[in-house]
Each structure stands twice: as structure tokens, then as C-alpha cells.
Amino acid sequence: MSEERRLEVLRAIVEDYVTTREPVGSRMLTERHRLGVSPATIRNDMAALEEAGYIAQPHTSAGRVPTDAGYRLFVDRLAEVRPLNVPQKRAIETFLSEAVDLDDVLSRAGRLIAQLTGQVAVVQYPSLRRSGLRHLELVPVAVGRILVVVITDTGRVEQRFCELPVGPDGAEVGPGLDEAGLGELRARFNAAAAGKRLADLPAAFDALVRATGPELGGVARAVADLVVDTLDTETEERVVLAGTANLARSGTTFELGLRPVLEALEEQVVLLGLLTEMTGDGVEVRIGHENRLDGLAEASVVATGYGSEGDTIATLGSIGPTRMDYPATMASVRAVARYLSRVLPG
């Protein structure tokens, strides 16, 4: 019974500290919460929680504040993720469904998370390594030049110009390449790529080129090489950041200052590594020093994956001070991820 009561005391301390931003004393707990015990018992429970490392006294004669360990216990055993209300859910769905392309939908997702949480939002672009080729388009733009448009099944679009090869006499290989010829090549490439991940395309395209007649073989080789080179070049992952200014708003304080947090957010490679580690089932929370990044030692990261059912393609999340509303942040991140998964093409 005493353990359950102490957990309730911890819950009350966390919730009051998040709300008031002030150390919590036994008197405040007695006045605000119906814990069913005397103030003396609450003081004893606080002493036990402090000895166990779940709360700490920032300075003499002050109340107590949760430690990283206290927040972890709260998240693991006490936090109840509050579902968003109906108007919030409708607003999310409407806002994301109005996006015009992948860049727009990810930007909107970031702005939504930042607005809902009042913290920094980070949204990872779908990884090309986990993508497939949805469609390849070939568009004539000039004599000896075509535009190659690569569309992945996660909505990413890459466009490159392809200079058609020339023969020994300087003549264009496949002279007079018309729409029918381009249509045939387009159909061949899309058939070769059907159901394959991008990593499998080089072998599939090599087989396509070998099977193509001399009239279109040179063009097929040029297009195949361009697509493979483009996808190799564009494998660098990207993230969208939104709401960075929220960290500087009144009431958000870091003992070590704001600069280390901002510097950590600028290191996108490191940030991507952290998000990749957090791509698991459900919503994951990293608190303070659990992040293993000096700049985020006073911050928490709440993240989850998004994508089609059973196939996570990237991660999104929220970053803020350890003194955050964990249930609300977890609910917001989870809701945006679910709706983002619905509206993404694929």
C-alpha cells in the first residue's frame, strides 16, 4: 500500500511541477490533492522518494522537483495518454489532407506537432532506402534531351535532365526518338521496377537494358544510369524542424542555457541517429541523459514511427524540456503520426 501511495505522491509532484513550474512542497500536495493521508505521511513519502532518487530538492528550504528517474517512472507506470478530442482530431485530418505534396504534408505535420505541444517538432523524411519506385516518367524537352521524373511510393519526387547519347558520327542514338519510343521505354522501366525496393533497381535495370533492342538500348542505358545515380545521391536523410522558437518562450528554462539545445537540433545527422534508434512499436520517450547527447541532457524526446501498417518508413516526434506534459505530448505525436500515415501516397 505504501508503494502505491508513494507513486501517487510522485504523480502529484510531476503534474504540479509541470503546471506551476515551481518546486512542490508537502503543503501544496495536501491542499491540491486528496491523497487520504496526513501531511506528515506525505513528508515521509517525499523523503522516501528523494532517497530513491525520484525527486530532488533544488535548494535549501525549497520543495521538490522530479529527477530524470522520477519522470521515467512516471512515464512507465503512471502516465495515462489522453486521447485528443473530436475537434482536434478533425482539425489534424483536415489540415494534413489539404497538403499538395510530400514537402507540404511533412511541413504541416511539423507545424501541427509544434502547435499542439508548444515544443519543437521534428519530422523525418521517408527514407529512400525503404522506398520503392512508384512511377518513372520520361518527358521530351528538346532535341537530344529528356526530363526523367522519379516518383517513389512514399511521395518523394526527383527530377533530372538526361542528355541522350550520341554515336561515333555525332548523331543521336535512337534518332528521332518520338513519343511512341518514350512510351515504350517508360512502360519497360515501370514494369522492371514494379514491387522492388530502390536497392534492387540497378540489377533490374541492367536486365532491362540487355533486353532492349539497339534502337533504344543506348537511351535505356542513359536513363538507367541517371536514375540509379540520382537515387544514390539523394539517399541523405532530411528532417523538418518546426517550433524552435517555442524553446525561448517565457517559462521554458534550461539550467545550462538554451544554446546547447539549439546546437543539438542543428546537428541533423546526430538528430537523425536518435530518431532512428526510436523507431519502434508505439510511442517512445527518451528523458534527459537517456538521449546520450550533451545538448539534450535537460530535454526529453517523444517519438514514434509513421508509415503503412507494418512498414514504418520514418519517425516524427517532439522535443522539449524534461518538465513537459508527457501524456499530452505522447497523444499529440501519436495522433499526427496516425493521420500522416493515412494521407501519405503509397
* Cα dihedral 320/326/332/337 (nearest 10): 80
Pairwise CA distance, residues 218 & 177, whole Å: 12
CB of 163 closer than 8 Å to CB of 228: no
State yes or no: pLDDT of 336 exceeds 50: yes
| Closest listed residue to residue 342, CA positions, set 313, 309, 302 | 309
Q: Taking the mean position of all CA atoms in its chain, how far away is CA 293?
A: 18
State yes or no: pLDDT of 116 exceeds 60: yes
Q: Taking the mean position of all CA atoms in its chain, how far away is CA 27?
A: 41
CATH 1.10.10.10 domain range(s) in the chain:
2-78
> What share of the chain has pLDDT > 70, as a percent?
90
State yes or no: pLDDT of 126 exceeds 70: yes
Pairwise CA distance, residues 231 & 225, whole Å: 10
Radius of gyration of the chain (CA): 27
State yes or no: pLDDT of 337 exceeds 90: yes
CATH 3.30.390.60 domain range(s) in the chain:
130-233
Task: Report the 10 Å Cβ neighbour count for 155.
Answer: 21
Poorest-confidence range of 27-36, 37-46, 230-239, 281-290?
230-239
Per CATH, domain 130-233 is 3.30.390.60: yes
CATH superfamily ID and name for 86-127+237-343: GAF domain (3.30.450.40)
CATH architecture of residue range(s) 2-78: Orthogonal Bundle (1.10)
* Mean of the per-residue pLDDT values of the chain: 85
Q: What is the pLDDT of residue 199?
A: 77
Mean pLDDT to the nearest integer, 118-142 = 84
Q: What is the pLDDT of residue 80?
A: 79
> What is the pLDDT confidence band of residue 241, given thresholds at 50, 70 and 90?
very high
pLDDT, one tens digit per residue, over 51-100 is: 999 999 887 767 899 999 999 999 998 877 778 888 888 889 889 888 88
Strands (E) located in 205-310: 239-242, 284-287, 299-308
Pairwise CA distance, residues 89 & 23, whole Å: 34
pLDDT, one tens digit per residue, over 177-227 is: 678 888 888 999 999 988 777 778 889 999 999 888 777 888 899 999 988
Q: What is the pLDDT of residue 175?
A: 46
The one-letter code for the residue type at 331 is A
State yes or no: pLDDT of 169 exceeds 70: no
